[in-house]
Structure 1
Amino acid sequence: MTTHSPTSARLFRRKPIDTLIAEAGSPEGLPAGAPEEGGRSGIHLRRSIGLWQLSSIGIGATVGTGIFFVLSSAVPEAGPAVIVSFVLAAVTAGLTALCYAEMASAIPVSGSSYSYAYATLGEIVAFGVGVCLLLEYGVSASAIAVSWGQYLNKFSDLAFGFRIPEWMAQPPGDGGYFNLPAVILVAMVVVLLIRGVSESAKVNATMVGIKIVILLLFIAIGLTGFHSGNLSPFMPLGFGGVQVAASSIFFSFIGLDAVSTAGEEVKNPRRTLPLAIIISLVVVTLLYIGVAIAALGAQSWQKFDGQEAGLAQILQDITGQSWPGLMFALGAIISIFSVTLVVIYGQTRILYSMGRDGMLPKKFAEISPKTGTPVWNTLVVGIGVAALAAFVPLDILTDLTSLGTLVAFSVVSIGVIILRRTQPHLPRGFRVPGYPVVPLLSVGFCVYLIYGLHPLTFLFFGIALVLAAAVYFGYSVRHSKLNRAETELSTTG
């Protein structure tokens, strides 16, 4: 006679960490094609990423996500005090980064906070986190791609005196109808990702080096035009404006999460993952605050509102010449390509993990024997990201990304506390200092920033959760591997 576990037990069943690691291959690096269950035909993702390449993934997914275009929307909300908004967002990201470092070193697999939630909080929570990650990665990739056309136009205008027509180079709501450059960008990224993760990581590492040099150049030139009067009044819109701006720009820190999505493709992950997360946070925070100070010192805060390719324009205004703006626009084009590459990469690895767990159709977990990449999965993500970038307004995309990111970050911090209590002796390459204060502060800061998001964001988020519930109860709860294992056990028993 077949029996089933109670509904509540089915919804909150947890995936054993040993199973997660076995499916991924050993942390030391299992050869492709080993007998443990991985993707299709036992083929695993290949461990080919070292510390610099992984740090570049974190920096690449973060620098460029916001700093090249977020000031035009964040500064009008907070004035010069947007510098404090960046610090507030960085503190929240820093507290969470420590929690990510511990979880990534304890559970070195793909899937990021989705996998961590499956191991600590249960299946239905993990599925909800997976949806938040869809918003975090898929939606943020679209938001990033949207701005590529603006800098492309800036470069082509300065270099060749040619501009792409506004109706096909701007996001909807800002004078555009169909963002063609964004679609082209996503297509190029998809082709590179399908070729292989090692090639993608090398290209990304090169582009990260370029973008760091470009931003340091901006800071150096920007400070020559610094006027202290531009910072007064420092907080014209009150601390409420600072909170709103911090909530909006928090999506600029999603690169920390992107590091952990590469858990199954990293050499020596128990050491490399936490180091890369911390390196990424430090580099990104210093760059963001430096750029914000230089930009606000060089230009009145009222001028940022709606400014297209704003950082390049600031360089032009300071020098009175076109070459700094031309070089910066080119750097932004490279940078946005890099961050789109990494964010779409992270999205495909999360869907890969969900497909392998049976939470989504098996097709999402298929790995190409030739390239070692999830080709079909990558194509689906590319089509979805391109569609959003082409047709959806930018402000909606950025706030949805922030909300999805903050929810996922909160779950990771809670997961650290649960795992410390349930499996205190689990091997960890890194342990959060100041436990349990740091994880609790991380959750508190995330909730504070969630509170500052625009009300319309919660409506779209609610719609996403309703759709997620329909998919989970209509498909995932019956097709998950854990459910099949329970059914087989009860049938044979």
Structure 2
Amino acid sequence: MTGKLKPTLGTIHLWGIAVGLVISGEYFGWSYGWGVAGTLGFLVTTLIVAAMYTCFIFSFTELTTAIPHAGGPFAYSRRAFGETGGLIAGLATLIEFVFAPPAIAMAIGAYLNVQYPELNPKYAAVGAYLIFMGLNILGVKLAAMFELCVTVLAVIELLVFMGVVAPDFSMTNFMLNGWAGSEHFSAGTVSSIFAAIPFAIWFFLAIEGAAMAAEEAKDPKRTIPRAYISGILTLVVLALGVMMFAGGAGDWQKLSGINDPLPQAMKMVVGDNSGWLHMLVWIGLFGLIASFHGIILGYSRQFFALARAGYLPKSLSNLSRFDTPHRAIIAGGVIGIIAIFSDGIINLQGMSLTAAMITMAVFGAIVMYMMSMLSLFRLRRLEPGMSRSYKAPFYPIVPAIALVLSVVSFIAMIWFNFTIALIFAAMMFVGYLYFRATQQQRDEAVQDLMLVGE
């Protein structure tokens, strides 16, 4: 059957989804940025990106509360710019949420491989997909409660990590060769700061996915702003803390470009056999699981919303007897598993699979951020009377900062990742061809006033 999703989620569930979607970014992925820009260069990148995300979330929340729709950015852009605008935002969001999970799944495999060296990380990654697709199919309330529990554990573990390595923290270690492998700032450092943007974005990528649970939120006009604002503040503090303490624990160059930087950083302090290390590996898995599980929820709702509106095959909007979009959950999982087994077969710009998937997901995210901020400006002009229980502070300055930094990030992404940019563009073009060929499918879809206005 198809239809509406049921509102069952409160503020704490939404906070758990918002933070949980992202928190794996504190456990892995960001250290690739050290290999590009060094610790100091990457710190500059991270501060710029943190400013972009903070401005973005304080602005994006206006859209989420005014239009609480499972399609999230797709719904806002379609209402602001019509069907083509909805297509651009919807496809970009789908690419972001479908390509982030394979990177996280591979990191789950890498963390398990620390404890079980004989375990193939790819098989562990596939096992993670099967388990958490199943959990998502069993119901959103169960999925959200699980997400909240693992997110709280993951946050506690990051605080424990910082506490354990703090006594051995050395600013000298952090600053050594901190400008792209050099002691001194140079013209090349500026280039490296921009080149590291995808890995700084990974610290915060997917927080906007909580918008896709808005249709399942109780009293979204009140619960969503609380969840989003507390969520972004939580993540900024954790991102800066983890990066600083890991970089000061020892030789940071040994941590760049690996999927398990926190266990390896802790090894420098407590050795190979410490109970703290084993605890970090096991509880650290919760951080990866929280994001992995949450992003499955996110991509399934995006598939569902696009299919319900006629942008994708209608069957993807079917709901299971648990009122969950089971076919959408499975569709994203199949794509992710194919991506996992392409590791070592497909080589993109000399990147590892993890780095390539992160970069592809970031392309989708940045396009979606630009479309969302443009939608905010356009809807303020076209629909000034729209009910807005929450408004972006210091409008238009805050959303303008988010938009400008998103555009700068997008240009830098294309410049430094041209091959992946071409693949991203090709995916968007294929989606556009499908869109042009399926007008009748959209005409026959049930009209949704949230997408077109009253």
3-state SS of 1:349 partner: helix
User: Aligned equivalents of 1:352 and 1:386: distance in 2?
Assistant: 20
Partner of 1:391: 342
What is the CA distance between 1:233 and its match in structure 2? Answer: 4.2
User: Aligned equivalents of 2:166 and 2:35: distance in 1?
Assistant: 21
Partner of 2:296: 344
Q: Quick check: 1:59–1:255 contact (8 Å CA) kept in 2?
A: no
Task: Tell me which amino acid in the other structure corresponds to 1:364.
Answer: L
User: Aligned equivalents of 1:349 and 1:106: distance in 2?
Assistant: 18
TM-score by length of 2: 0.90
| 1:232 aligns with one of 176, 200, 222 | 176
Task: Tell me which amino acid in the other structure corresponds to 1:163.
Answer: E
Q: Quick check: 1:100–1:274 contact (8 Å CA) kept in 2?
A: no
Aligned pair 1:194/2:137, yes or no?
yes
Partner of 2:146: 203
Q: Quick check: 2:30–2:199 contact (8 Å CA) kept in 1?
A: no
What is the CA distance between 1:201 and its match in structure 2? Answer: 0.5
Partner of 1:480: 442
Higher relative contact order (CA 8 A, sep 6+): 2
Partner of 1:22: none
Partner of 1:276: 227
Aligned pair 1:60/2:20, yes or no?
yes
Deviation digits for residues 337-372 of structure 1, max 9, x if unmatched? 11111101111101111111111121111122x211
Task: Tell me which amino acid in the other structure corresponds to 1:285.
Answer: V
Q: Quick check: 1:88–1:246 contact (8 Å CA) kept in 2?
A: no
User: Aligned equivalents of 2:409 and 2:444: distance in 1?
Assistant: 35
Aligned ranges 1:109-188 → 2 under 5 Å: 109-156=69-116, 162-164=117-119, 168-169=120-121, 179-188=122-131
Task: Tell me which amino acid in the other structure corresponds to 2:8.
Answer: S
What is the CA distance between 1:106 and its match in structure 2? Answer: 0.6
User: Aligned equivalents of 1:71 and 1:97: distance in 2?
Assistant: 20
| 1:255 aligns with one of 206, 209, 212 | 206
Task: Tell me which amino acid in the other structure corresponds to 2:32.
Answer: S
User: Aligned equivalents of 1:268 and 1:104: distance in 2?
Assistant: 12
Deviation digits for residues 316-357 of structure 1, max 9, x if unmatched? 220124322211111222221111111011111011111111
What is the CA distance between 1:113 and its match in structure 2? Answer: 0.4
| 2:323 aligns with one of 372, 376, 382 | 372
TM-score by length of 1: 0.83
Deviation digits for residues 121-166 of structure 1, max 9, x if unmatched? 111121121111121100001111111111001133xxxxx532xx
User: Aligned equivalents of 2:314 and 2:235: distance in 1?
Assistant: 36
Q: Quick check: 2:100–2:358 contact (8 Å CA) kept in 1?
A: yes
User: Aligned equivalents of 1:307 and 1:462: distance in 2?
Assistant: 28
Task: Go from structure 1 to structure 2 and tell me whether the alpha carbon gap of 1:305 and 1:234 turns closer, same or farther (over 3 Å shift).
Answer: closer
Task: Tell me which amino acid in the other structure corresponds to 1:349.
Answer: R
What is the CA distance between 1:484 and its match in structure 2? Answer: 8.9
User: Aligned equivalents of 1:48 and 1:484: distance in 2?
Assistant: 23
User: Aligned equivalents of 1:214 and 1:127: distance in 2?
Assistant: 39
| 1:217 aligns with one of 160, 170, 194 | 160
Task: Go from structure 1 to structure 2 and tell me whether the alpha carbon gap of 1:407 and 1:280 turns closer, same or farther (over 3 Å shift).
Answer: same
User: Aligned equivalents of 2:168 and 2:87: distance in 1?
Assistant: 49
Task: Tell me which amino acid in the other structure corresponds to 2:44.
Answer: V
User: Aligned equivalents of 1:306 and 1:426: distance in 2?
Assistant: 47
Task: Tell me which amino acid in the other structure corresponds to 2:176.
Answer: S
Aligned ranges 1:51-90 → 2 under 5 Å: 51-64=11-24, 66-81=25-40, 82-90=42-50
User: Which one has the largest radius of gyration?
Assistant: 1
Deviation digits for residues 384-419 of structure 1, max 9, x if unmatched? 222213324222111111111011011111111111
4+ runs deviating over 6 angstroms: 482-485
What is the CA distance between 1:105 and its match in structure 2? Answer: 0.9
Aligned pair 1:313/2:272, yes or no?
no
| 2:246 aligns with one of 278, 282, 295 | 295
User: Aligned equivalents of 1:212 and 1:124: distance in 2?
Assistant: 39
User: Aligned equivalents of 2:115 and 2:277: distance in 1?
Assistant: 8
- Gapped runs of 5+ residues in structure 2? 183-187, 344-352, 448-454
Aligned pair 1:455/2:418, yes or no?
yes
Deviation digits for residues 82-115 of structure 1, max 9, x if unmatched? 2222211111111111121000111011111011
How many pairs were matched up?
A: 425
Partner of 1:330: 282
Q: Quick check: 2:308–2:445 contact (8 Å CA) kept in 1?
A: no
3-state SS of 1:147 partner: helix
Partner of 2:62: 102
Task: Tell me which amino acid in the other structure corresponds to 1:208.
Answer: T
- Gapped runs of 5+ residues in structure 1? 1-38, 157-161, 170-178, 486-493
3-state SS of 1:181 partner: helix
Task: Tell me which amino acid in the other structure corresponds to 2:38.
Answer: G
User: Aligned equivalents of 1:335 and 1:372: distance in 2?
Assistant: 27
3-state SS of 1:411 partner: helix
3-state SS of 2:169 partner: coil
User: Aligned equivalents of 2:239 and 2:446: distance in 1?
Assistant: 47
User: Aligned equivalents of 2:165 and 2:198: distance in 1?
Assistant: 26
- Percent identity over the alignment is 23
